[in-house]
Chains A and B, each alone.
Chain A
Amino acid sequence: MNISVQSKQEVPALSFSVRVKSGVKKNWYKFSRNKLSVVGLIIVLIIVFSAIFAPLIVPYPHHAGKFVDYANAGTAPCAEYWFGTDNFGRDIFSRIIFAFRGALYMAALVLAIAVPIGVFLGLIAGYYQGTFLDTVIMRVTDIFLSVPPLLLALAIAAVLKPNLTNAMIAVTVMWWPWYTRLVYGMATSTRNEYFVKASELIGAGRLHIIFREILPNCLSPIFTKMALDVGWVILIGASLSFVGLGEQPPTPALGQMVSDGTRYMPDLWWMTVFPSLAIAVTILGFNLMGDGIRDMMAKGEYDRE
């Protein structure tokens, strides 16, 4: 990314495209060196695609909403219902695809809110290292990191009204401190680098230094962590919805489907098994892709084992 910004300024048009292409190529090379990353990317693309176009591609879109059909309740997997139907007679396949929507929405929104907050606080604390502001921010961060994350999220979500929004609030509240800590570490070291000192000397403002000098140097690890975190957010979201603290029925959610299924084991085993697989495959896909992005972001390590 930063390559393209530089080239815009200095390099003539023709070679610009060449360099961008080589940048993409290089990144793709780094990413795809591990075939598993490509597998992950494909899984993620399929999931995102099917979530976006869910109403068009699933056989029974209305089964994801206010619908019951007790005549067809508990049908085993067959040609008509690939993954069978649940105790309400709703197509499990259709519901899983629709459940991806909530999961992705949650991951995107949680990261979109938690990361800027966490990064901002980390930058401020790092820049004002040693001051009162630093102490306050980092002590609060430590407090939030002193309990296992899922636990705090459960507590917050439980105390609020159970729905998707509150589940997202709960996860966001426990997610930002990790970014604060990450950025803090990098910001404290970067602010003592010569190029920061130099721009301070020529009279650059604090905002400029924080956002234009320090922040760009933290971006690569931030993006790497974000890529790896998507799977985690989905996992935590599934855990919350497993105990009934996420999306409320009849809107489907993966964790909720698994927990509903356990009541009908072993007779309606498909109610449990397919949503479980969906959770595993989703998280696996995002983790593998995250690993690929981490490889891609790693600087110049062509010969890493």
Chain B
Amino acid sequence: MKLSSYVIKRLLYSIFVLLGLSIVIFIIARVVPGDPARLALGPRAPQFAVDALREEMHLDKSLPVQYFYWIKGVATGDLGKSLITKRNVVEDIAEFLPATLELVLVSALFVIVFSIFFGALAARYKDTWVDSFIRVMAYTGVAVPSFVLAVIFLLLFGYIWPIIPVLGRLSAGIQPPPTITGLITIDSLLTGQLDVFFDALKHLILPALALAVGPLFQEARIVRSAMTENMGKDYLAAAVGFGMPDHVITGKYLLKPSLIPAVSVMGLDIASLMSNAFLVEVIFNWPGISRYGMEAMLRKDLNAISAVIIVFGLIFVLVNILVDLIVAYLDPRIRLGGRSS
């Protein structure tokens, strides 16, 4: 199957899945007792204003009709008003999403870089203490939830050994760079503000690590076993025999195929990064969409909850398509068409 038609097919299916998800969310959001219009205006608001708002929000209609209006809004970028911020949820998402993306991207970067590093290290020193250490870390990494890790980091670096900032995205007194992408690290680099860049990066380390440690060592184990397996393969010896340059051998014949199994579980890792971000952002006071979503959930801000889940569903679906594409790139034997079912 051609790449473009594969991507289109996957995207179409994703739209179907997201539509289904929207129905599930809509049902969850509407079974809650309480009148959203009354909630939005407060207990002392006069009845006529509440009625007017109910009509404006189409709450006086039947559920399927309400869904129709809601999904129409979603399609046109109108997700309704948030109870907490009192403005359209779309604006909230535009404001809070970049911080979360930055956090998840940096922790994904941690996972990729360090898992290859530790995986290669474990393969190189197979069956030595290095290998055992990484194995133990893999077991512990999975067993320690990222929110526990975050709390421990907060205790260690917030109080006992305060060398890295533990709260927020930037130190007080440092002006954030003008918003271009919303990712402070990138924006500060684009505008050439190195001090802001480093400050932002320092703030990223702990939350990103708290998210990354779990998946990181697991991936390292996967890289390790793939590499040990591939190192014994005849084609590598053959490549050496042909006198190929070192970087071609390590890069193309050893590393690339060894990454395939690691990349294919990356989709699941991203899921764990994104959902754990929900707790970690709260702990590190990270002004991202997860903290916003968490607050929305605790306060039953239904429009915000629905929007956050839709956005995460969308990101998750796209990431999974991307992961499949990368795996296909790394391993030409995989035919994309066969995997779509």
Q: Taking the complex as a whole, does A directly touch B, i.e. does some CB pair lie under 8 Å apart? A: yes
The 9 closest A-B pairs by CB, nearest first: A158-B297, A150-B275, A284-B143, A143-B20, A148-B275, A266-B159, A148-B271, A283-B143, A276-B148
Q: Is the CB of B309 within 8 A of A151?
A: yes
Point out residues on A near B: beta carbons under 8 Å: 36, 139-140, 142-144, 146-152, 154-156, 158-159, 231, 235, 238-239, 242-244, 255, 258, 261-262, 265-266, 269, 272-273, 276, 279-281, 283-284, 287-288, 305
Contact partner, A158, options B24, B145, B225, B298, Cβ 8 Å = B298
What separation, in Å, do the CA atoms of A154 and B309 have in the docked complex? Answer: 10
B101 to chain A, nearest CB (A): 15
Q: Give chain A's interface secondary structure class.
A: helix
Contact partner, B155, options A147, A150, A243, A266, Cβ 8 Å = A266
Q: Is the CB of A239 within 8 A of B145?
A: yes
A184 to chain B, nearest CB (A): 11
Contact partner, B142, options A36, A147, A159, A283, Cβ 8 Å = A283
Contact partner, B305, options A148, A155, A243, Cβ 8 Å = A155
Q: Is the CB of B28 within 8 A of A266?
A: no
Q: Is the CB of B17 within 8 A of A231?
A: no
Q: Is the CB of A36 within 8 A of B139?
A: yes
- Given contact pairs A159-B31, A159-B300, A239-B145, A142 touches B17 in the complex (Cβ within 8 A): yes
Give chain B residues whose Cβ lies under 8 Å from the Cβ of A150.
272, 275-276, 278
Give chain A residues whose Cβ lies under 8 Å from the Cβ of B312.
147-148, 151
Q: Quick check: is B25 within 8 A (CB to CB) of the other chain?
A: yes
Q: Is the CB of B155 within 8 A of A269?
A: yes
Contact residues of B between 250 and 309, Cβ < 8 Å to A: 271-272, 274-276, 278-279, 282-283, 293-294, 297-298, 300, 302, 305, 309
Give chain B residues whose Cβ lies under 8 Å from the Cβ of A280.
140, 143-145, 148
- Given contact pairs A139-B20, A146-B316, A159-B28, A258 touches B147 in the complex (Cβ within 8 A): yes
Q: Quick check: is B200 within 8 A (CB to CB) of the other chain?
A: no
Interface membership of chain B positions 1-38, coded 1 if the CB is closer than 8 angstroms to chain A and 0 otherwise: 00000000000001011101100110011011000000
What separation, in Å, do the CA atoms of A287 and B205 have in the docked complex? Answer: 28
Q: Is the CB of B145 within 8 A of A283?
A: yes
Q: Is the CB of B29 within 8 A of A159?
A: yes
Q: Is the CB of B142 within 8 A of A155?
A: no
Between B24, B31, B140, B300, the greatest number of chain A beta carbons within 10 A of the residue's beta carbon is seen for B24
For residue A285, which residue of chain B has the nearest CB?
B143
Q: Is the CB of A235 within 8 A of B145?
A: yes
Give chain B residues whose Cβ lies under 8 Å from the Cβ of A276.
144, 148, 151-152
Q: Is the CB of A159 within 8 A of B17?
A: no
Give chain B residues whose Cβ lies under 8 Å from the Cβ of A239.
145, 147, 276, 279
Q: Is the CB of A159 within 8 A of B305?
A: yes
